[in-house]
Structure 1
Amino acid sequence: MIGRVLSFPTLRASMIRGVVDGLAERPGAANNFLGAMRAVSTWALVRDHLTASITDGIEPYAATSGHKPWTDAQNAAAHEHLTGHVRRGVMLMIYTGQRGSDVVRLGWTDIDENGFRLAQQKTGREVWCPIVAELATEMSGWEKAPGPFVRQASGRPFTRKLFSKHFDTQREAIPALKDVILHGLRATAVVRLRRAGLSTAQIQDVIGMSMAMIERYARFADRKTSGQAAILHMAAARK
């Protein structure tokens, strides 16, 4: 079946380029796709299913240190303008630091002693996320119904992709959120917990992120805090 599909003369590098370009806002996903297509292209070439590579000339996106955390202003805009179940999902992401694929599955039955106990879908890692006061206040108005907290108008659960589409719809009307990416809220959670004084190991227990990635985001928070302290110190010295 794969051989017959790859034999179609319409399968060209321009098509692969189109998909990669279409994923510009998700460079990690674009690079994963390109890597898979390179493997397919190599497999097909040596079996004469293709006469030329379908990935030549297509470069991956440059590696980054992770998704950009939301700023305090962007967080404030989310709190002020997002509504309905989109707001619920975003608040869960802000205060738990979990991926969208896990947030859309969270419900009342996942609560264990004032926190969420869950096995992350992507990694299988079991984490316990405390329900902080701000999130508890948000949740106080949510109905006690079976199933996930975040649901479509029909009552059906969201998939991660469908939730992202609904978020994008609301985001279009909020200028302050123009450039944000939902996955950036994982980084935002790291910065928030670092500011609260948690160590890298403690943050890993709460969020379930790799130590290396936590360190990258934590250094950003540490540099910002140090820079703000320097400004206050210089202002005091001038006086």
Structure 2
Amino acid sequence: MPRQRNRAAVKLPKGVHRVVSRGREYFYFQPGRGTDHAGPRIALPNDPHSPEFWNAIRQAQGLAGAVPVDTFGAVLDGYLEFIKTSGTITAGTIDQYERALRIARKAWGSLPAKGLRPVHVQAVMDGLAETPGKANNFLSAMRALSTWARVRDHVEHSLTEGVKPYAKDSGHKPWTPAQIEAALSKLTGVIRRGVVLYMWTGMRGSDAVRLGWTDIDEGGFSYRAQKTGREVYCPIVPELEAEMSTWAKRPGPFLLQEGGRADGQRYTRKLFSKHFAEARDKIPELAGVTLHGLRCTAVIRLRRAGLSTAQIGDIVGMSLPMIERYCRFADRKTSGKAALLTLKRTSEEQNCKTSQNRKT
């Protein structure tokens, strides 16, 4: 039977040590352990996922003095440590939450956590009104923190109840045929290859930068989506197969950096997006397009090919509501064209009487 991973085995700061004795875990702080200059041994709380544990470390280090464990900053420390060690949240999401929650730490770090209310969150949202995207990211992070803190009795009420996000704009727009043509004809190298991969698979950037020859299984890509953990099977369409026939078969992902000291190194989603943006800005026809817009483009293409929402979800690893959202404009446009054809057909049938028909 495989040994279960111990939940408490987290990455500990320098000077913090874990000891297992008689089946129980103990933690203590002792800088320089095992040397002639070892400091005093200070016992720590036994739950490294609690705010008390990390405040005790700060006190032992002498960095912050006696920090009350009920401050919002202490609760925030506990939450961030939880999401970093839970193994259920991707690095990209953790990074997004950390950046968003810096706003919260600056606003309420030294205040009692149990004194916070939705009105305080709303006040921050109002202050971010000119940057609705940033505001919505902040609210999303606060909702997750509030849920975690509430069930652990770090706060007495939901911190976000009744707080509404700002209305989204049209979001990432699908690429037009002209934009796709310009990209294929003017982009070169790995950037063009990435656009082709995004366009014909509809996968997320975090998956596209990991995809390689070894992910091919019976005419399609078989992989586990990094963001959701969902198993995805994406068929390789003939257009993509033709492009891939010109790609060198080698170990590793399809998208590797080109030139300079990083030549041959793997891409991260963020770095590939940066390099794409640099290449895009040199092509006037591509002004305003985004890589994520190609995900929308792929979804619309699959819908127009007659696939159901569930089938599209299996191919691109996307939730059904999000697929419906991406297809809303395309579906309305298709329905409108069909209605126009019906109206024209009806009009032609009403006006097709000949003189012989009238006599009859």
- Normalising by structure 2, report the TM-score: 0.53
In structure 2, distance between residues paired with 1:67 and 1:135 = 23
Query: 1:66 Cα shift?
Result: 4.2
What is residue 316 of structure 2 aligned with on the other side? Answer: 207
In structure 2, distance between residues paired with 1:142 and 1:63 = 43
For the residue of structure 1 that corresponds to 2:226, the secondary structure is coil
Encode CA deviations 1:12-36: one digit per residue, 9 max, x unaligned.
xxxxxxxxxxxxxxxx9xx967752
CA RMSD of aligned residues (A): 3.2
Q: Which has the larger radius of gyration?
A: 2
What is residue 127 of structure 2 aligned with on the other side? Answer: 57
89, 93, 105: which one aligns with 1:40: 105
Query: In the TM superposition, what are the counterparts of 1:65-84 in structure 2 within 5 Å?
Result: 66-84=171-189
For the residue of structure 2 that corresponds to 1:116, the secondary structure is strand
225, 249, 253: which one aligns with 1:144: 249
Query: 1:171 Cα shift?
Result: 0.7
Query: In the TM superposition, what are the counterparts of 1:1-239 in structure 2 within 5 Å?
Result: 35-41=100-106, 43-46=108-111, 55=124, 57-59=127-129, 60-61=132-133, 62-64=166-168, 66-153=171-258, 154-234=263-343, 237=347
Query: 1:77 Cα shift?
Result: 1.7
> What percentage of aligned pairs have identical amino acids?
58
Tell me the amino acid that sits aligned with residue 58 of structure 1. Answer: L
Tell me the amino acid that sits aligned with residue 163 of structure 1. Answer: F
Which protein is richer in helix relative to its size?
Answer: 1
For the residue of structure 2 that corresponds to 1:228, the secondary structure is helix
Deviates more, 1:166-175 or 1:93-102: 166-175
In structure 2, distance between residues paired with 1:33 and 1:69 = 30
- Normalising by structure 1, report the TM-score: 0.78
In structure 2, distance between residues paired with 1:123 and 1:41 = 31
Query: Which structure carries more relative contact order (alpha carbon 8 Å, separation 6+)?
Result: 1
Tell me the amino acid that sits aligned with residue 228 of structure 2. Answer: T
In structure 2, distance between residues paired with 1:120 and 1:206 = 11
In structure 2, distance between residues paired with 1:109 and 1:161 = 23
Encode CA deviations 1:130-151: one digit per residue, 9 max, x unaligned.
0001100110100011111111
In structure 2, distance between residues paired with 1:123 and 1:138 = 28
Maintained 8 Å contact 1:104/1:159: yes
In structure 1, distance between residues paired with 2:319 and 2:188 = 32
Report how many residues are paired: 214
Which contiguous aligned blocks of 4+ residues in structure 1 show a shift greater than 6 angstroms? Answer: none
Maintained 8 Å contact 1:69/1:184: yes
Encode CA deviations 1:100-142: one digit per residue, 9 max, x unaligned.
1110110000000010011111111110000001100110100
